[in-house]
Chain A
Amino acid sequence: MKSLEELRAIRAKMQGKVGVRAENENQIRVVVGMATCGIASGARPVLTALSDAVQEQNLTDKINVTQTGCIGLCQYEPIVEVLEPGKEKVTYVKMTPEKAMEVLRIHLLGGQVVAKYTLSAAQNNAE
């Protein structure tokens, strides 16, 4: 069995590093819907894929991944909202971990909205 003792080593290693990661105003907020509708349609792997990638690529200062409840667009779940300071909110719908990685690469890092996955694209297709 793995024991919690390892946390002591992590604590020692992280002394001095603590506190640098306070939320800042310029951070991009990435919000994943995690109500019944989101969870049932696959939001959990999307949330973990995003947060794992942000951690692995050392982007935690720049990007903050969090969760929220239902925003009333259940038929479009899993939904990922991108809130960038000074810009309009972008709502991505019917996300998968793969699509979320594309959003991370092209939008969050590259600055280009991935139009084909947005809510407006989905609504236009439905018409």
Chain B
Amino acid sequence: MMPEIALNILDIAENSVRAGASLIEITVSVQPEEDSLTVTIRDNGCGMTPEEMEKVQDPFFTTRTTRKVGLGVPFFKQAAESTDGSFQIDSEKGRGTLVTAVFGLSHIDRMPLGDISSTVYTLIVFNDHIDFRYTYRYGEKDFVLDTREMREMLGDSISFSEPEVSAFIKEYLETNKKETDGGADI
């Protein structure tokens, strides 16, 4: 089991990376008034057939050859559903996949959100060839980090793994998260 929601997000987004996506959109929306925390991960990767989509929620199914179990999706599903939330996968072969997990925000069994900024940072810096659009919302406030906008400002030749750039990404994510949620303990 993953200790935090942010690690589940990292794990599910790694599936999008392996699916050959060129754009991965991640949204984390915390709505205290509705008592919900909603995560969506959308990619334009290879997608799944209806049969694969059914099997992917089964822990004893994986397309990998290195081991016989595939726990990523079942972990995330279990984590959401155990908080009176919901879990859904929509996918189309050749078009991409959308994973939606809704958590009961104040539910006693909800794991902490965890270090979401680190998750997004890791995805962006170590997958330089993929574009990400990350939206973090708390109540009415939100902020976005879109790597396509970053590339426009940086030009094509500067990598996100350059120390100056990766340090900026880290600070951008942490500072803006704090200003969006006021440092709330989620």
Contact = CB atoms under 8 A, between A and B. Distances in A.
Interface of A: 1-2, 4-8, 10-11, 13-14, 18-19, 21, 34-37, 39-40, 44-45, 47-48, 51, 55-56, 60, 66-67, 69-72, 74
Given A7-B154, A34-B126, A48-B122, 8 more contacts: A5-B153, A14-B164, A19-B157, A34-B14, A35-B72, A36-B11, A36-B72, A40-B71
Contacts of A8: 153
A53 B75 CA distance: 31
Nearest to B68: A72
A70 B143 CA distance: 33
Contacts of B1: 40
Contact of B122 (A6, A36, A44, A74): A44
In terms of DSSP, what is the predominant structure of the interface of chain B?
helix
A74 B158 contact: no
A2 B172 contact: yes
Contact of A71 (B66, B72, B171): B66
Interface in B136-175: 143, 149-150, 153-155, 157-159, 161-166, 168, 171-172, 175
Contact of A10 (B7, B18, B119, B154): B154
Contacts of B72: 35-36
Interface string B22-59: 00000000000000000000000000000000000000
A112 B114 CA distance: 36
Contact of A21 (B155, B162, B164): B162
B118 interface: yes
A6 B168 CA distance: 8
B130 interface: no
Contacts of B14: 34-35, 39, 69
B113 interface: no
A48 B118 contact: yes
26 contacts: A1-B143, A2-B172, A4-B149, A7-B168, A10-B158, A10-B165, A11-B153, A11-B154, A11-B158, A21-B162, A34-B126, A35-B14, A36-B11, A36-B71, A36-B72, A39-B11, A39-B14, A40-B3, A44-B10, A44-B115, A44-B119, A44-B122, A48-B118, A48-B121, A55-B163, A72-B66
